[in-house]
Amino acid sequence: MRKTILYLTVLVVLGLGIYLFLIRSGDSPYSSSEAGFTIKDTASIGRLYLVAYNGESILAERSDSGWIINKQYKALRSTLELLLTTLYRETAVVPVTKNALENVIKDLAASGIKVEVYDRAGKKMKVFYVGGVAVNNTGTNMLLEGASTPYVVQVPGFNGYLTSRFTTSLRDWRDRTVFDLPESEIKSVSVQYADKSLNSFEVIRENGKIIVKGDTNFTKHMDTPNLHRANLYLSYFKNVNCEGFLNGLPDNDTTFKTAPKQSSIDLVGMHGQHQHADIYWMALNRRSKNISGSDISVPDDYDADRLYAVINNNKDTVMIQQFVFGKIFRRCFEFFQKDIEPAPKGKPNELPASVLNNKK
């Protein structure tokens, strides 16, 4: 009797171990025709089509210049990579229970997201439906096309549901680049402030030389520009992104009728590229960090952390952060200041010689 119990115990342990190994390794123990959600060769994927119950859809296609969304927008890398990683790792854990089956089928039919995956040659690789959270709150209900049973699907090591990774919102998929040119490709940058024209400036590369232009009433009294600062400034326009798109949100027109303009920025490339942005102040709101205290660089009625911007030939309204754009919002006089002389090595508390020699 004891030997029988011992054998049964060993068999249960071995079975459990094999099951856990399969789940953790990303391989489902169930039939691939019913539960084969995993796509191991994501590099072969050439097209993704996601459509929601409300008709909202996303078409992501691989091209020579990268992934394109709905045939006109560059894809947001983080959204695309998260979805491809999910397709690579998602694993069927267990069939939906009989008690939950009817409700899950209704949910998939009424509000599921259909996912179609094609290879680079346009051949269909997989089609499945993504539903809501499973009853245990640690998985997502999914159903393969042609299968009779939906499964609870998980990404090993992630205790949550996956539906949000299959978003069909264009705002989640669009690349958020506002400016993106390397320093060597920039011909000129112009920043024109709406309310303080003396702070406006233009940095131009002409015949291999850097020129800084500003209001002549100011620049005629200044020495030659600080070329180190001007060159450094041109390096700030690589991979400058907005926080998110605001297109289609209610009250946008009303907001911009009352939002005063902060500045206009023009970035011109060596090969004729032109990226333009009109920047507007955002009114003080509950999220504003400066609501309880002033910020010397921002008028008291406006948010110190975020602004609005209109980009892409006035087609898109976006939100931008001072954290990202603050380095671009320089002032003309800063390009004519001398760099602070570093302290001598080994004497961090000693003033620079230029200061000591002029000290009275």
Could you tell me if residue 9 is inside a domain? no
Query: Do you know the residue count of the chain?
Result: 360
**Per residue in 240-266, pLDDT tens?**
999 999 987 766 666 666 789 999 999
Q: Which one of 153, 173, 193 terminates a domain? A: 173
- Quick one: 181 and 309 in the same domain? yes
Which two structure tokens, joined as six digits, stand for 224?
Answer: 């030659």
Q: Which one of 129, 158, 173 terminates a domain? A: 173
Q: Is residue 56 scored above 50 in pLDDT?
A: yes
Q: Is residue 150 scored above 60 in pLDDT?
A: yes
Contacts of 144 (CB under 8 A, 6+ apart): 33, 34, 35, 36, 37, 126, 127, 128
pLDDT, mean of residues 139-146: 94
- Quick one: 161 and 186 in the same domain? no
Q: How far apart are CA 307 and CA 255, in angstroms?
A: 12
Contact 199, 332 (CB under 8 A): yes
Confidence bin at 278 (pLDDT 50/70/90): very high
Q: Read off the pTM.
A: 0.77
Which structural domain, as residue segments, surrounds residue 322? 177-336
Q: Of residues 238 and 159, which shows the higher confidence score? A: 238
Mean pLDDT of the chain: 85
Could you tell me if residue 232 is inside a domain? yes
Query: What are the start-end ranges of the E strands in the chain?
Result: 45-51, 57-63, 66-69, 73-74, 91-95, 113-119, 124-133, 140-144, 151-154, 177-179, 186-193, 201-206, 209-214, 240-241, 244-245, 261-269, 274-283, 302-311, 316-321
- Quick one: 222 and 290 in the same domain? yes
Could you tell me if residue 12 is inside a domain? no
Could you tell me if residue 3 is inside a domain? no
Q: Is residue 360 scored above 60 in pLDDT?
A: no
- Quick one: 92 and 186 in the same domain? no
Could you tell me if residue 315 is inside a domain? yes
- Quick one: 326 and 215 in the same domain? yes
78 burial type by CB count under 10 A (0-12 exposed, 13-18 middle, 19+ buried) = exposed
pLDDT at position 293: 65
Lowest mean pLDDT segment, chosen from 9-13, 200-204, 214-218, 306-310: 9-13
- Quick one: 40 and 159 in the same domain? yes
- Quick one: 144 and 187 in the same domain? no
Q: Which one of 117, 145, 173 terminates a domain? A: 173
pLDDT at position 25: 44
Q: How far apart are CA 354 and CA 358, in angstroms?
A: 7
- Quick one: 143 and 215 in the same domain? no
Q: φ and ψ at 4, to 5 degrees?
A: -65, -45
- Quick one: 280 and 220 in the same domain? yes
Question: How many separate domains does the chain show?
Answer: 2
Q: Please give the share of the chain, as a percent, with pLDDT higher than 70.
A: 81
pLDDT, mean of residues 33-47: 93
Could you tell me if residue 20 is inside a domain? no
pLDDT, mean of residues 124-130: 97
Could you tell me if residue 128 is inside a domain? yes
Confidence bin at 342 (pLDDT 50/70/90): low
Q: Which residues pair with 124 in a beta bridge?
A: 118
Could you tell me if residue 269 is inside a domain? yes
**Per residue in 309-331, pLDDT tens?**
999 999 999 999 999 999 999 99
- Quick one: 244 and 277 in the same domain? yes
- Quick one: 100 and 213 in the same domain? no
**Per residue in 70-105, pLDDT tens?**
999 999 999 999 999 999 999 999 999 999 999 999
Give the dihedral of Cα atoms 248, 253, 254, 256; nearest 10 deg.
110
Q: Is residue 303 scored above 80 in pLDDT?
A: yes
pLDDT at position 76: 97
Alpha-carbon distances of 198 from 139, 298, 299, rounded to whole Å: 58, 17, 17
pLDDT at position 345: 52
Task: Classify residue 239 by its DSSP letter.
Answer: S
pLDDT at position 2: 53
pLDDT, mean of residues 14-34: 51
- Quick one: 164 and 196 in the same domain? no
Q: Which residues pair with 69 in a beta bridge?
A: 60, 73
